[in-house]
Chains A and B, each alone.
Chain A
Amino acid sequence: DAGVTQSPTHLIKTRGQQVTLRCSPKSGHDTVSWYQQALGQGPQFIFQYYEEEERQRGNFPDRFSGHQFPNYSSELNVNALLLGDSALYLCASSLDDEAFFGQGTRLTVV
């Protein structure tokens, strides 16, 4: 089992651009959550997807959106990128009381 896989591992974008990050959950996991980890900080909850619907959302603007596909994989989209969006973006998948994190995508906005 490959666990939670995220792509790409690193990404550099310019302010104002749009970005899409991808996550494949651990086999059998039906819930995917996304977190933003700024440098030197703990991860902050962005949103959670279950059954292809956004189930919960943290305190992030509408520029952050997502999608979950029938195979449970997920995408995180960020529009109109700001310098402050530079961070490690973590995906976590879960089933019942088990949760696993991916290695993350390092996004740098210049």
Chain B
Amino acid sequence: GDSVTQMEGPVTLSEEAFLTINCTYTATGYPSLFWYVQYPGEGLQLLLKATKADDKGSNKGFEATYRKETTSFHLEKGSVQVSDSAVYFCALIGDLYNFNKFYFGSGTKLNVKP
């Protein structure tokens, strides 16, 4: 079945460091891929998405490229800020006709120190 695997955390970085959070997926067909962010005590916010191979999603300095050949969707940011501290979830939707059925990874907690 469909699934997502992402690197375990926590990831601790200093402000302005480069961030990579790895995400790989297993899916039949052609999934759409997402990164969501969850701040303490809050729900999920969409960070970025990509709906087909080689698409690059980007938002707020974060980027991720849909790599079908490696079944990956790694999240990157060139210079993190303290305000980026949160839990990041990689997710997929296997079937656009069931758009609301997400498969999530277990989340990666990011701590950014001043």
Scan residues 92-114 of chain B and give those whose CB is less than 8 A from a CB of chain A. Answer: 96, 98-107
Scan residues 1-41 of chain A and give those whose CB is less than 8 A from a CB of chain B. Answer: 4, 31-33, 35, 40-41
Interface SS of A by simple majority: strand
A-B contact pairs, 17 of them (CB 8 A): A4-B43, A31-B99, A32-B100, A35-B102, A41-B106, A41-B107, A42-B89, A42-B91, A42-B104, A42-B105, A45-B101, A48-B98, A48-B101, A94-B100, A101-B36, A101-B43, A104-B43
List A residues at the B interface (Cβ < 8 Å).
4, 31-33, 35, 40-45, 48, 55-56, 90, 92-94, 96-97, 99-104
List B residues at the A interface (Cβ < 8 Å).
4, 36, 42-46, 51, 89, 91, 96, 98-107
